[in-house]
Amino acid sequence: MIIDCHGHYTTEPDKLHAFRDRQLSALADPSRRPTAANIGIGDDEIRQSLEGAQLKIQRERGTDVTIFSPRASGMAHHVGTAEISREWTRICNDLIHRVCTLYPRNFVGVCQLPQHPGVSPANCIEELERCVNELGFIGCNLNPDPSGGYWTDPPMTDRWWYPFYEKMVELDVPAMVHVSSCCNPNFHATGSHYINGDTTAFMQFLTSKLFKDFPSLKFIIPHGGGAVPYHWGRYRGIAQDMKLPPLAEHLLGNVFFDTCVYHQPGIDLLTKVIPIDNILFASEMVGAVRGIDPETKHHYDDTRRYIDQVAALSPENRGKIFEGNARKVFARLDAYLDRRSKL
């Protein structure tokens, strides 16, 4: 089985975007505020949005199941108010649940969280519990920078985040560290802000004792870990200078990396530098990079092709990347796949 741990619903029906436009317009004129009941997205519209995109790509590339969440850039935690974020988050998560209900053999849900700058992450606990306990989701996306590029909240290792981590541990779910859209004009959203977020989160983890406080807490850092694999020697040296344990002991029981790296040399580097047990297959298909690479004539985000072409990978290690590691990190995934097999 090939499990893609990083997929977003980037082909949502237009009615969702129309609702969002009305929701944000109501910030200036509350009388125009829509209700979730007015969205009116039918099951056939959901099917149409997926059949020619994610489902088609799954079939073409030979992947089996995608761990699926709302559009990352659409979370936009810095927009509006905490109340708006809560309403928008619930709507987006409910839509993911409908996708997973219509296509239980293809998708399993991961939730967006109702974060907002300056609002305690404890505010997200209720939605996480709802999504895990009621909707059957197996994880969440956690934004380390709800301000959208200005980093106004405390680092992810601050006790500010601890109530939410306690709930993650209790529910036994991991979080993918994933920023959203950026309002700071210095940063391109997907080209720099996303990679900044990945790299910054790793450095925060490195310089803390977070995992002594939460030994079973698990994070996936997407996009191949940002700059981390390329500068692994730098981080090893910083940890050494700070008298911290070696990275394998200090972080790698808790921090994992995905394969959303869109060229062969990058995947080769990732699999050479990062221990195989810490790499999860992912593509973020129909995501930030959708085009065809003129050098290879294949889509940039066809990451299965890159893994298949890493000559140094044994069949056992390739199986860990494609399936085994996802089952290990997402503790609730096995039960979901077992239910799926009985449908």
Q: Look at residue 26 in the predicted model and tell me its pLDDT.
A: 86
Q: Look at residue 167 in the predicted model and tell me its pLDDT.
A: 98
Q: Look at residue 342 in the predicted model and tell me its pLDDT.
A: 75
Round to whole Å and give the CA distance between 169 and 215.
9
Q: Which H helix or E strand runs over 210?
A: helix 210-213
Q: Look at residue 160 in the predicted model and tell me its pLDDT.
A: 98
Q: Look at residue 202 in the predicted model and tell me its pLDDT.
A: 98
- Indicate the SS3 state at residue 107: strand
Q: Look at residue 31 in the predicted model and tell me its pLDDT.
A: 73
Round to whole Å and give the CA distance between 126 and 111.
12
Round to whole Å and give the CA distance between 298 and 305.
9
Distance of CA 319 to the CA centre of its chain: 21
CB 221 within 8 A of CB 257: yes
CB 146 within 8 A of CB 104: no
- Indicate the SS3 state at residue 75: helix
CB 192 within 8 A of CB 148: no
Question: Residue 257 is which amino acid?
Answer: F
Q: Which of 128, 67, 123 minimizes the C-alpha distance to 96?
A: 67
Round to whole Å and give the CA distance between 40 and 28.
24
CB-count exposure of residue 269 (10 Å: 0-12, 13-18, 19+) = middle
Each of the 343 residues of the chain gets a pLDDT tens digit; together they read 999 999 999 999 999 999 999 999 888 887 778 877 779 999 999 999 999 999 999 999 999 999 999 999 999 999 999 999 999 999 999 999 999 999 999 999 999 999 999 999 999 999 999 999 999 999 999 999 999 999 999 999 999 999 999 999 999 999 999 999 999 999 999 999 999 999 999 999 999 999 999 999 999 999 999 999 999 999 999 999 999 999 999 999 999 999 999 999 999 999 999 999 999 999 999 988 989 999 999 999 999 999 999 999 999 999 999 999 999 999 999 999 998 777 7
Provide the 8-state DSSP code for 246. Answer: P
End-to-end CA distance of the chain: 17
Q: Which residues are catalytic?
A: 284
